[in-house]
Amino acid sequence: AQTVTQSQPEMSVQEAETVTLSCTYDTSESDYYLFWYKQPPSRQMILVIRQEAYKQQNATENRFSVNFQKAAKSFSLKISDSQLGDAAMYFCAYMGGGNKLVFGAGTILRVKS
């Protein structure tokens, strides 16, 4: 079974600085997608970014980018120019066969002003 590991329970960043959240996964599949979701205090799950495993180019969405290392099974999220509104729980998720999402335990991101 696939597993997703987020080794950082909590991270802090100064406003306007850059922070990187780590994620590793374990799978024997070759066709899969990876996602980062953001969960603010409202508990709404918001898609941040996604990466298709067959794509070598790292995905970017404005201030959010990923470092996808397929061989190492690593999928980190970089947030540039951090803003107060970025404070939330961030979940890394894996989607393989069957379109099911497997989530990591999450990383709480605190943004200091």
Partner 1 sequence: DAGVIQSPRHEVTEMGQEVTLRCKPISGHDYLFWYRQTMMRGLELLIYFNNNVPIDDSGMPEDRFSAKMPNASFSTLKIQPSEPRDSAVYFCASSFGLAGVKETQYFGPGTRLLVL
Which residues in 25-84 contact partner 1 (CB under 8 A)? 31-33, 35, 37, 42-47, 50, 52
Tell me the closest approach of the beta carbon of residue 103 to partner 1, in angstroms: 4
**C-alpha–C-alpha distance, residues 62 and 94, integer Å:** 22
**What are the percentages of helix, strand and coil residues in the chain, rounded to 5?**
5, 50, 40
Stretch of residues binding partner 1 (CB under 8 A), selected from 11-19, 56-64, 76-84, 99-107:
99-107
Helices and strands in the chain, H and E counts? 0, 12
Q: Which residues bind partner 1 (CB under 8 A)?
A: 31-33, 35, 37, 42-47, 50, 52, 91, 95, 98-106
